[in-house]
Amino acid sequence: EVQLVESGGGLVQPGGSLRLSCAASGFPFSSSNMNWVRQAPGKGLEWVSYISSSSSSIYYADSVKGRFTISRDNAKNSLYLQMNSLRDEDTAVYYCAREAGSGSYSSYWGQGTLVTVSS
Amino acid sequence: DIVMTQSPDSLAVSLGERATINCKSSQSVLYNSNNKNFLAWYQQKPGQPPKLLIYWASTRESGVPDRFSGSGSGTDFTLTISSLQAEDVAVYYCQQYYSISYTFGQGTKLEIK
Q: Mean pLDDT over residues A20-49, rounded? A: 97
A35/B51 CB distance under 8 A: no
State residue B8's pLDDT score: 96
Per-residue pLDDT tens over the stretch B13-69: 999 999 999 999 999 999 999 999 999 999 999 999 999 999 999 999 999 999 999
B102/A110 CB distance under 8 A: no
List of residues 6+ apart from B21 with CB closer than 8 A: B6, B7, B8, B11, B78, B79, B80, B92, B94, B108, B110
Rounded to a whole number of angstroms, the distance from the CA of B76 to the nearest CA of chain A is 18
Split at pLDDT 50, 70, 90, the class of A98 is: very high
Per-residue pLDDT tens over the stretch B82-112: 999 999 999 999 999 999 889 999 999 999 9
Split at pLDDT 50, 70, 90, the class of A101 is: confident
Report whether A31 contacts A53 (CB < 8 A): yes
A61/B107 CB distance under 8 A: no
* Cβ of residue A94 closer than 8 Å to a chain B Cβ: no
State residue B47's pLDDT score: 94
**What CA–CA distance (Å, rounded) separates A78 from B38?**
27
Phi, psi of B39 (to 5 degrees): -140, 130
A-facing residues of B in 22-81 (CB < 8 A) are: 36, 38, 40, 42, 44, 48-52, 55-56, 61
Rounded to a whole number of angstroms, the distance from the CA of A119 to the nearest CA of chain B is 26
Q: Name residue A55's amino acid.
A: S
Kind of pairing between the strands at A58-60 and A68-73: unpaired
Question: Could you say which DSSP state residue A75 is in?
Answer: G
Of B49, B55, B104, the CB nearest to A110: B49
List of residues 6+ apart from B86 with CB closer than 8 A: B15, B112
Give me the percent of chain A exceeding a pLDDT of 90. 96
- Under DSSP, is residue B104 helix (H, G, I), strand (E, B) or coil? strand
Rounded to a whole number of angstroms, the distance from the CA of B6 to the nearest CA of chain A is 12
**What CA–CA distance (Å, rounded) separates A68 from A53?**
19
- Sign of the Cα torsion B13, B16, B18, B23 reads positive
Between chain A and chain B, how many beta carbons pairs sit less than 8 Å apart? 58
State residue B101's pLDDT score: 85
State residue A103's pLDDT score: 82
The candidate with the shortest Cα–Cα distance to A100, out of B90, B102, B45, B29, is B102
